[in-house]
Amino acid sequence: MARSACLAMTAAALMMWPLAVAAEAGWPERLVGHGGPVKAVTLSDDGETALTASFDYSVLHWRLEGGEGQVLARLIGHKAPVNDVAFVPGARKAVSVGDDGALAIWDLERARLLALIEDSPVKVLDVAVSPDGRFAAAARWDGTARIFDIAGEREIARAEGHRGNVNAVAFSLDGGRLFTASQDGTIRAWRLADGVIAGAPRLVLDHGWGVNVLAPLPGASLIAYGTLNGVVGVVDLRTLDNVTLSSNEHPILSLAVSPRAGWLAAGSADGHIRIFDIETGNRVEDYNDIYGPVWGLSFTPDGRHLYRAGLDDFAIRWRIRPSEPVEPVRSVYPRRFQAHDAEDPGEIEFLRKCSVCHTLTPDDANRAGPTLYGLFGRVAGTVEGYEYSKALAKSDIIWTPETVSLLFDHGPDVVTPGTKMPIQRLKSVERRDALIEFLLEATAPDGIASPPGVRREDGE
């Protein structure tokens, strides 16, 4: 089927899509508040609020006003980076998933965690909510997608059969099917009856390369996808005809749909955002951040602006229409963990291994880990106000040059089993020694000398 014929069937659906209430002006340029890279961003249907998920283990609930947005609540409960988050239609709730393998259910009105369903520790990259708000589906890296009853706060079904990690999930617009996309290169459709899988899946696409992301398109007969080898495509769910909208060498990491504008946006690992007209399949806009991957995308309700998430500590707005002659670059480069001007080899290791999660100042700056200020001589798990894993909270480890060296030699999973610290190892003795020497100086409170026998930068 030709591209125009395959996509034109959505035109009537787009014309009938209800208009969302949105302000023409006043969208925040950035949503600033996280302490680590932002993995996902999603706007509410009315455009008044947003949710972001971050490497800093948190979800932020935003009011979209002011230059940098207003944080309504910082939602803490995950024990690892949070990869995706979604509003629950018809309720003041949200769901999120992360590297800890858990599905979190949030009460947005009271800013509290309702449930953390920890049925498996295997990473979850994507979460979707059914149109009626009753069910959530999670794409898990154990080859399954799991369906949860949100009100009942429990798992009710599993989609099993993929030969690789499940990277993405999506409900059909009528809620009657669940789509799953996998590293095995396939997209499958599962019929649902009251949230439970009914019968064998239908093979929608066998692409060969892994499929990373999915997005149902208006009209319920098409689904868009993005792949590991850089393809953005659309499948007709009735005929299984497949149309490629674009192809490049960089993986596609995010998709977003604007029913109001009739646009599909795709974000890639090299920072490109491409916008396609759903009716014609033509590319209508192209933007290149150049400073890193685009992990998350979300349109404003009018379709004239697009928020993107990536390596920055904030989500960034792009004004699509009317377009600016030169779109200002609001990303920060280099990031603290990418700094290229550091000369101290220990500082370089800190920037690479530690700076995403930890600060060197008394304030943790909302990062995933506690501050390292005053690290040496401190009992593990004792920074006030930080929520430690049980493994560290009950630990009797005292941080010394020797114990920190062991941590990076063997890894946190060996030295502190059960910790939520990401696995970081430095097998090179020279690099470990350089990191520890840097930390001894950088984390020492003012006026307190390094431990005896340790060389200071001034030679003492």
**pLDDT of amino acid 391:** 82
Helix, strand, or coil (residue 198): coil
Give residues with Cβ within 8 angstroms of 79, minimum separation 6.
57, 98, 100, 102, 389, 420
- Residues carrying CATH 1.10.760.10, the chain: 345-442
pLDDT for 448:
56
Judged by DSSP in three states, 349 sits in: helix
Q: Which tokens sit at 378?
A: 């401190």
Question: Residues 439, 346: contact at Cβ < 8 Å?
Answer: yes
Amino acid (1-letter code) at residue 190: W
Q: Find, among 359, 363, 338, 355, the residue nearest to 422 by Cα.
A: 355
Buried b (16+ CB within 10 A) or exposed e, 62-81: bebeeeebebebebebbbbb
Distance in angstroms (rounded) separating the CA atoms of residues 218 and 203: 21
- What is Dmax (Cα atoms) for the chain? 77
Assign domain 3-319 to its CATH superfamily. Answer: YVTN repeat-like/Quinoprotein amine dehydrogenase (2.130.10.10)
- Return the closest-CA partner of residue 128 out of 78, 200, 186, 180: 180
pLDDT in tens, 260-289: 999 999 999 999 999 999 999 999 999 987
Q: Give domain 345-442's CATH architecture.
A: Orthogonal Bundle (1.10)
Alpha-carbon gap, residue 425 to 408, rounded angstroms: 5
Distance separating alpha carbons of residues 339 and 418, to the nearest angstrom: 31
Ranges of the chain with pLDDT below 70:
1-25, 325-327, 340, 447-460
41: nearest Cα among 28, 29, 50, 32 = 50
Assessment of whether the complete model's pTM goes beyond 0.85: yes
Residues of the chain with CATH 2.130.10.10: 3-319
Q: For residue 326, what pLDDT is reported?
A: 64
In order of 334, 409, 434, the CA distances from 351 in angstroms are 11, 18, 12
pLDDT tens readout for residues 109-168: 999 999 999 988 899 999 999 999 999 999 999 999 999 999 999 999 999 999 999 999
